[in-house]
Chain A
Amino acid sequence: MRWNDAVLGAIFVIIALVVALDARGFPDLPGQAYGSGTLPTLVAAVMFCLGAAQIVTGVRSRAPAIRLDAWMRAPGAAWRMAAVPLFVAAFVLLLRPLGFPLVTPPLLFALLLVMTVRPATALVVAVAATAGIWFVFARLLGVPLPLGLLTEIVY
């Protein structure tokens, strides 16, 4: 997904302005003209100039505002790509209430199906990967992966 340089340049300019405005409220060191706002302001100034330069380049190039690369136009590509953030978001939101052992296999199974893995393989892989990661992180490394609904059953 290629945007015209001017689009991202404008976003950088806006971020730079917001940062510079916010940084004005940061306190200076006692008796100095410098403080916690100095470097953010400097970086914002550089970002503003470079972003502006990108706007100029983008406008001059007369490229379309947005252009899809060939690989992204392949059938199903956009949908498979969207599945990645959807998987992560669903995983974080459901992890605490339901627990790692209950959330992971169905989500991973669904993602594997989206990736056109055969259902039988997907099922085996989803369960095996869940067990493997549980073993490494929860048992070997002692990471408290949430048990969610299973907490009361286990304890």
Chain B
Amino acid sequence: MAQSEQELLEQLSERDYPHGFESNIEQEIIPKGLTEDTIRFISQRKNEPDWLLQWRLKAYKHWLGLKEPNWQKLTYPAIDYQDISYFAAPKAAPVLNSLDELDPEIKSTYDRLGIPLEEQMMLAGVAVDAVLDSVSVVTTFKEKLAEKGVLFCSISEAVHLYPELVRAYLGTVVPFTDNFFSALNSAVFTDGSFVFIPPGVRCPMELSTYFRINARGTGQFERTLIVASEDSYVSYLEGCTAPKRDENQLHAAVVELVALDRGEIKYSTVQNWYPGDKDGKGGIYNFVTKRGLCKGTSSKISWTQVETGSAITWKYPSVVLQGDDSRGEFYSVAMTTHLQQADTGTKMFHIGKNTQSRIVSKGISAGRSQNSYRGLVKIRKSAHKARNYSQCDSLLMGNRCGAHTFPYFEIHQPSAIVEHEATTSKIAEDILFYCTQRGLSRESAIAMIVNGYAREVLDHLPMEFAVEARKLLAISLEGSVG
């Protein structure tokens, strides 16, 4: 007879992170601890202009007066901020001569996720001069972008190449005063991406960090800034379905998006950081501040995220709808298993007239994990006829996990229309029996049901990314069922 749901879930919750890996990059590391000198060292090593150093120092001083937030539904041991090394420059990347030298298990994960060969080589750190195809792909890519006037580089490069642009926008959407982690990030950020789309340009391809060769190993305090000028469009992909392991337990990234009149930014994330072992040891703590500013009229910012990794996720990609007729969207799938904890959601600030926002959140909890949706819809008095639609669904697997929904609404404009729907469901035994009766194994039935449940969100990912994300959700449950 089929095993009971309980047995199945026991195994599910004990799934081990299937294919994490560590690298042995030789690094230049400064001593642990955070002082003004640490920040001066980082800034000096990066040869930064004085205005940026001063900004970092102001952020640091502000951070000293802040306390870590404690309102979220997360429990983790206290973080000792003096026990972290804030600068590590990769000295030498590990060089493989070909993919044949790659751990067969990692290779097999890449294959099953359907990651293209060139990208696999990049991820695995195969020597670039051994990857002629890849180099030509990147070169063609850069030529095409240059033709359109799209600026795409690391934020460190941008500080030197386009200082006026960086200075004009850095910290305007997420000021260092915003919260504890944004202050910390502003003080010590090491690198990240910079994108500028000139007026009237539709970026001809999806921008992804994969094409920024020199961006490897900048994970801990990333800082990303994307500006879409008037009548422009850009789609940006962050992260990767391939599993990522990092020695740095604390990650505190900041992402700022700015859309001017009729500009549109579509920002997609797949996050698969190491979640820790089955006892919750060693996973990444991910405290992220992501915010977009719809500055111009009829501008649009859309966040889509698939979160499967990290031990702790604290993340609320938000949109400030300042321009009249602007539109903000948030589509999210957050999957937690064994002891993972996720407190994630969004904030939509309606300021301009006729602004619209749409929130679709799908939580999936298994094992003993805790999965919370936390969302704020704030409609200011100025936001005449603003509209919001929110849908928050939770899917529970077993009865030892938790799903929580914390929707907050602050409506100060009577002409606004706000709709909220929430559902909680379980993968019931009768649904599994229906699927197995048709010949599917329990494992593929669960994968199919989970993918169906997340479909509305996955459909918003760029197509190739969506295919990988679907496989990722299935693989995350695989090897642990039946």
Report if A and B associate in a common complex: no
